[in-house]
Structure 1
Amino acid sequence: MKTSKTKSILQIIIVYAIVLILGWISNNSMLNLHDNWIIFITCVLDITFIIFVTLKVDKKPLSSIGLLRLSIWDILHGLILGVFLYLLQVLPPVLIMHMDINQYGNQFNILSFLSRIVFLTVTIGFSEEIIFRGFLFTKLNQLMKSKILVILMSCILFYCAHLPRTLLIDFTHIYSTFVTTTLFCGYLYLAKKKSILPLLLAHGVFDTLIGGYGFVLWNFFFS
């Protein structure tokens, strides 16, 4: 049992270190590539590494980290979670700061919107969820009995992994990390089917909406 816990701790440290290194390379790359290609290559490396560790090192099926067969309910849950997460993160500053969202315009392009969701789901959504809610979340649950501690540690790991992008401690980012991690980890705890596939889609939907499409959609339908 002690050997198993030691192995899990070492795996968390090694995997997290590699994730941080790849993240740093991605954010500080001097390669003459389009940003989307840098994102794509980095995400593929992250996903490949986690799959390798699961299949070859742990010798467990991919279902052990939440990669199960996709169902229509996964898609529905993912869409709902993505929109709900967006509202949780956007409504407070909009209401408190009285933001003018008309500046984002109301020119909505459905093809651009859907292609962005697909791209962010299969890249950033897939890589971050398989790392944080698939692999690391599973390992933390093996090490800790308290769900609160698991969620708290997941928050810390998720926040620190994004520090190269934020550089400074940002309370808005802390709030975003806390809400995202709590919602996604809570979903895994409550769901009968422990699949991370809804979270991949939710992540893609959220990133698309938070990138400006959310306000564009609001203006398109309500202005």
Structure 2
Amino acid sequence: MVSLLAAAADPAYPAEIVLVVANVPGAPALERAEAAGIATETVAHRAFSGRQAFEERLDAVLREARIELVCLAGFMRLLTPWFVDRWRDRLLNIHPALLPAFKGLDTHARALADGCKLHGATVHFVRSEMDAGPIVVQGAVAVLDDDTEETLAARVLTVEHEIYPHALALVASDRTRIEGNRVMTAETASDAASHRLISPPASNS
């Protein structure tokens, strides 16, 4: 979220962040958003009788604010098909793995256990299935021989901070279209040249 706020602070950025919503009262994201001058709202899921009632209120808050795109960032609840369908192709998520590999939790430990040479993060449009949907952008890092779950997670987090603002900019500027389960992207030459897909290992020399 902080990376998205930082990107959107540039007047040339094609998306304006106007609202940050949390489902947990007192979430640190709310304070950070307020410090950046962004409106905040709390829709505490525990205050509702079920998922549908919570999502109906969340949907109402977003529509009252005239939101056009929703970016999930640290939102650890599965959304129902009802909500996902209402926001179809306007709902983005970031996942710490190169989807469709390693859906769910503990992605870094699983990548190490499986001997992956590349690992990374994915920004995708949300569908009702967990960690599924057309992929907008992926960023990869090399998995080093001496990596631990913590060191690998730290490098992937750096990639997450790079690719989420990039993906939102592509979608917000109407430079993507969805064909089946693929996202076709109209990137400029400068975009392609500046976007790092693979982070090389640090030099030992």
Per the normalisation by structure 2, the TM-score is 0.31
Decide which structure has greater helix share: 1
Decide which structure has greater strand share: 2
Per the normalisation by structure 1, the TM-score is 0.29
Relative contact order (C-alpha < 8 Å, sep 6+): which is higher?
1
